[in-house]
Amino acid sequence: MPTDVPLLHRISVIIPVLNEEQRIGERLAELGRMTGVAEAIVVDGGSRDRTAEVTRGFPGVRLVSAARGRGSQMNAGAQVASGDVLLFLHADVGLPPDAATWVGRLLADPAVVAGAFRTWTVVDAGRSWVAPLLHLADLRSRFTHLPYGDQALFVRRDAFDRVGGFPDQPLMEDLELSLRLRRLGQIATAPVAVRVSGRRFLSRPIRSAVQMRLFPLLYRLGVPAHVLARLYGDPR
């Protein structure tokens, strides 16, 4: 990771993975070229493919193991991170090259405790008739003040610790963290986008569109996360 640029914040990027051998190399290569990233931590939830082997091929990247589940994996990464800013990145989400600059700009305001990016969801390869529907999630990222995990959420370390990290639940852990952080201060959204793979949406477009709109509302109305998780199926 580049370390020759003086940083206002030390940014630790934490990537939870499960069977991501096809993507983790691309993510780590991008981070290696990025100015302002102090460290990258990959947290494996029990992959059975070459995810760990690919990760070990990147010098300086830390590989740790944790119980399967994005919340538990991201908490495990935060526990070993040395940064004063934690940025949580999904393996199928690519940061803009100037991501660290935007993190610094937004956190220059002491009232801001966390932030995220807009999303731009793309088809990985080829074309699909449902491709225009991918941008429904992108509209959400422009207007919500409660960022989701695919928006590359970043948070001040002290604020993350104060709210107890990610909750121990199988779904909506990102929304719950955002709700807790908003009680501490402002959550800002950078006017630039991360690139999000549309792979999960494209695998079941109609179901995904309904869940995208309905599940967050149901959760905020009080439906427990474990009930939504049963309806959702395997989120990984």
Query: Mind listing the pLDDT tens digit for each residue in 196-215?
Result: 987 666 556 556 666 666 77
Q: Is 1 domain-assigned?
A: no
Domain containing residue 132: 11-232
Query: Mind listing the pLDDT tens digit for each residue in 147-200?
Result: 988 999 999 999 999 999 999 898 899 999 999 999 999 999 999 999 998 766
User: Which residues in the chain belong to E strands, given as ranges?
Assistant: 11-17, 37-44, 62-65, 85-88, 93-94, 112-122, 154-156, 186-197
Q: Is 107 domain-assigned?
A: yes
Q: Is 180 domain-assigned?
A: yes
Q: Is 205 domain-assigned?
A: yes
Q: Is 5 domain-assigned?
A: no
Q: Identify the DSSP state of 98.
A: T
Per-residue pLDDT for 123 more than 80?
A: no
The predicted pLDDT at position 125 comes to 59
Per-residue pLDDT for 231 more than 50?
A: yes
Q: Is 45 domain-assigned?
A: yes
Q: Is 224 domain-assigned?
A: yes
**Cβ 88 vs Cβ 149: under 8 Å:** yes
Which of 190, 196, 188, 163 lies closest to 75 in space, CA to CA?
A: 163
CA distance 181 to 107: 14
Q: For the residues of 118-176, what is the DSSP string, one character each?
A: EEEEE-SSS--TTGGGGHHHHHHHHH-SS--GGG--EEEHHHHHHTTSS-S-SS-HHHH
Total number of domains in the chain: 1
The CATH number of the domain holding residue 162 is 3.90.550.10
Q: Is 6 domain-assigned?
A: no
